[in-house]
Structure 1
Amino acid sequence: MTTNNERQSAAVAVIAVPLPAQGHLNQMLQLSSLISSHGVPVYYAGSALHNRQARSRINALNPQEVARINFHDFPIPPFLSPPPNPNSTNKFPTQLAPATEATLSLRGPFAAYLEQMAHKFTRVVVIHDPLMSYVVQDVAEIPNAESYRFVCISAFSHISFICGALGLPFPVPHPKELPPYEGWTSETAPKFFAIQAKPSEIRSGNIFNTSRLIEGPYMEVIEREELKKGRPSWAIGPILPTSSRSNDSHECLEWLDKQEEKSVIYVSFGTTVSLSDKEINELAHGLERSRVKFLWVLRDADKGDVFDGDVRRAELPEGFGENGMVVREWAPQPQILGHPSIGGFMTHCGWNSCVESVTAGVPMAAWPMHSDQPRNAALVADILKTGIVVREWKDRFELVKASRIENVVRRLMASEEGKEMRKTAEELSAAVRRATDLGGASRIELDSFIAHITR
């Protein structure tokens, strides 16, 4: 028997529009799965190539839940897919620029698709990445459509960028010294960002992958400013599933099964960072000297087309690896962080990684590389007190020596300071997990958003 609520939900469809970069594809897929679980049909709209990428890296998501999502493939013009430059002093992923700029061609196809969907459903709700605002701007021309911006960075970083760009003081609690507002992007990226600014103003609200338990003061500032323009904001995170093991076991998880509890440091710099040979050499020696067991995912940053082969395989020092495991391919990070053998995480501090680490209760060795990462590192180390900074942002052009890496790893994994951070991380994890349970702060906001779009 169909209930009134089910009939109401069926009258509404969500179109999810991600930016074609892994951290954005992944979060949008998690959000799509979450919304779909509430009986609302979700259409994940992107190029065929990047939809394939999203499906191939579902991480901790249940494949059956992903199967409920409708993937809509748009044609996209051919684009260059250059390799990343590991020797660049600026770690911003400029190799992805051709792929992201190619998305600008999707405005016309998206408008046509939106019009088609508007005839099928009573209301069409477009949830888009902030950097896809240009593509979805014609939602303003459809009477029964509305759009919401899904912010894939921390609320702390979001405020930091706005204040930095406008030269305003930071309005809420922050570290004594914020990372300098420079060197976080490439020379050309701001032009792409600027294209999104005006179209972004048509949105009806904002969704954040964060929890008020982590970023309450920052969400309050954002909410206050957004409500002046009639735009509500929802903090519904963390949006990744709380169960950490999938049905498919990876060899690294089998290796972790044999290690002692909280004895392994997980090392990964995400999908947009390539280390130089010198950096890899220093990191390898630092890990070795620490005598702490490690699981290191060592792979080059993604190209615009992750399926085109021809990937650099960085060399490691001869004889390295006896005290750990090196993974060269894609690895299931949420499952790794959720494994009982993991006691620390050396990370670039992308927001995906920070959220996954906080959820798992794992303290971080924060090594920011670009974009929002310097601000996230400050949030983790100076405000949440769940991490140690490996390298200050002002020293980003200096090579991090093995001695520094050894020191940080030992502090995180084998000191009273590290134990205290782990305790803080575990307490925060428990609170954040409760927030997503029925009646929890984040769950209430998610339910509020679902009720809002199916009203």
Structure 2
Amino acid sequence: MEGTMSESSAPRFRVLMFPWLAHGHISPYLELSKRLSENNFHICFCSTEINLNFIKKSKTFDEISSIELVQLDLPDLPELPPQHHTTRNLPLHLKSTLERAFYMGKANFQNILSTLKPDLLIYDAPQSWISELAALNHIPSVLFIIVAAVNLSFFYHAVNCGIDGTNEAYPFPAIYYRDYETKKMIAMSQESKESLPEDAAFSPKCFELSSFVLVKSWREIEGKYIDHFSFSCGKKVLALNLLNVQDDDTKEEENNSHIMKFLNGKDESSVIYLSFGSEYYLSKEEREEIAHGLELSNANFIWVLRFPVGDSIALEEALPEGFLERVKERGIVVDGWAPQAKILEHPSTGGFLSHCGWGSVTESMYFGVPLLALPMFYDQFLQARLAEDIGVGIEILRGENGQTNREEVAKAIKMVALENEVGELLREKARELSNQMRGGGEGVLHEAIKKLKDLCSKNK
């Protein structure tokens, strides 16, 4: 019957999009919203006021023909005022407080479900009460994951076989945690368990009520991990080839014209771009080791440094004494923001020194730029291993306790930017992968849209 209807006479389904309160999650959810809107879905996009204000300014928001912004109110905790109801610029020590406040917004989300009565919920926030509330309201739900599938594949293996895999080896030996990473992950998990109720913690329950699973990935990159994850969780998993490059704020562009001028004056593939995302702030020790590593490497670079709101430091104070003067001919340090997509697509950019957030990893791959991986926490560790395993990156080795080392930073930069053979091999593989990522992918999106429409139809 659906095939005989015109698009205008087909039923318009209401989809409630509910990402976690991080911009790295919101951006791909907006991109998926845009695709669904183009296919006759009405989008209700739920987040906190500060995130909704950010969404209104995004270019993607302007491109979505049918979107309704829905505000989720969180309790006003003394240590977490409304401007901190987002992970952007959130001091690290308030992360667990935000997770707790998010859980305390459960009743308000129940009211949203009761009022909107959507045909479908698409969610990713890693707290199992979300899909449970949808089920209680007879609303089907679909999990859309915005980190690499390798994380979920490894997660299910850890759940089934113990975190160190002693009962059964993980089938892909290139993917593993180092000892200091395992300790860090266990400590973070323990902190969440102590501050949050059971239904607010990340667990297999987050997947159980999802009709199927969408993941922001490419089969060309993660085919075997997607299949392993699907087998482990017993769900159909569809990889959506959605790239959400960082929006270029036109107001900021004028202030960053010197960056493009700098790139225009450098040789092809000779500049290393450094950025650690919008949610991680380098410690004083990390800043100093990276700065000294850049000096030792003698390579050209553009380094984006960010500081938490209220804790901003002048660049001269944040970096080793005299550093900016010594590197002024071959390096730029930017405070806060830079046009990442434009930098990565510039022919002078030869490497991306990154924390390996999945958005940054996929952008780097898409633009054919090798990764210099310096993961900090969460999904980043395994995404760094993945980039190295598929031949588009090298990992900067740390000390036994996870400390950043200037010599290792310099060594990796030299390998990519100055030693032609290694760097060229990485760039060749990165370009090859870039071509694969740019071709096709619409078939999976169409399959996902059909499955989503079928779910909504059954719910009518």
After superposition, the Cα gap between the structure-2 partners of 1:221 and 1:270, relative to the gap in structure 1 and judged at 3 Å, is same
Specify the code of the residue in structure 2 equivalent to 1:74.
Answer: L
User: Are 1:77 and 2:75 matched, yes or no?
Assistant: yes
1:251 deviation in Å? 3.7
Could you tell me whether the CA contact under 8 Å between 1:250 and 1:332 is conserved in 2?
A: no
Aligned to 2:452: 453
CA distance in 1 between counterparts of 2:104 and 2:340 reads 33
Aligned CA distance change for structure 1 residues 155 and 277 (closer, same or farther; 3 Å): same
Give 2:271's aligned residue: 264
* Residue 287 of structure 2: aligned partner: 280
Paired position in structure 2 for 1:45: 46
Query: Aligned pair 1:331/2:338, yes or no?
Result: yes
- C-alpha separation in 2, matches of 1:176 and 1:71: 39
Highest relative contact order (Cα 8 Å, sep 6+), 1 or 2?
A: 1
Partner of 1:4: 6
1:95/1:55 CA distance change after superposition, 3 Å: farther
| Cα shift readout 1:80-120 (whole Å, capped 9, x = no counterpart) | 24999xxxxxxx944322122211122222222222222xx
Are 2:27 and 2:244, in contact at CA under 8 Å, matched by a contact in 1? Answer: no
1:437 aligns with none
TM superposition score normalised by structure 1 = 0.83
* Matched ranges for 1:46-445 at <5 A: 46-55=47-56, 58=58, 61-62=59-60, 64-65=62-63, 68-79=66-77, 80-81=79-80, 93-118=92-117, 124-143=119-138, 145-166=139-160, 167=162, 168=165, 169-175=168-174, 178-180=177-179, 181-184=182-185, 186=188, 187-190=190-193, 192=196, 194-196=198-200, 197=203, 198=205, 200-226=207-233, 228=234, 231-240=235-244, 249=253, 251-252=255-256, 254-257=258-261, 258-260=264-266, 261-300=268-307, 309-313=310-314, 315-317=318-320, 318-320=322-324, 321-322=327-328, 323-381=330-388, 383-392=389-398, 395-401=400-406, 403-415=407-419, 416-434=421-439, 440=440, 442-445=441-444
CA distance in 1, matches of 2:197, 2:257: 39
C-alpha contact (below 8 Å) 1:110/1:136 kept by paired residues: no
The alpha-carbon deviation at position 254 of structure 1 amounts to 4.8
Residues 15-50 of structure 1: CA deviation (Å, up to 9, x unaligned):
111111232223322322332233322111011123
TM (norm. structure 2) is 0.82
1:244 Cα shift?
A: 8.5
Structure 1 CA distance for aligned equivalents of residues 415 and 47 of structure 2: 43
Aligned 8 A contact 1:271 1:300 in 2: no
CA RMSD of aligned residues (A): 2.9
Distance in 2 of aligned mates of 1:405 and 1:50: 35
Structure 2 gaps, min length 5: 85-90, 455-460
Q: How many residues align?
A: 419
Q: Which runs of 4+ in 1 moved over 6 A?
A: 243-246
1:67 is displaced (CA, Å) by 7.1
SS in 2 for 1:174: coil
1:177 positional shift: 5.7
- Is the 1:252–1:325 contact (alpha carbons within 8 Å) kept by the matching residues of 2? no
User: Is residue 32–residue 242 contact of structure 2 (8 Å, CA) maintained in 1?
Assistant: no
Q: CA deviation at 1:73?
A: 0.9
Once the two structures are superposed, residues 141-186 of structure 1 have per-residue CA deviations (whole angstroms, 9 ceiling, x without a partner) of: 233x211111121111211122224324355333186534331352
Helix, strand or coil at the partner of 1:405: helix
Q: Which runs of 5+ in 1 are unaligned?
A: 85-91, 435-439
Range moving further from structure 2, 178-187 or 368-377? 178-187
Work out the CA distance in 1 between the residues paired with 2:50 and 2:249.
24
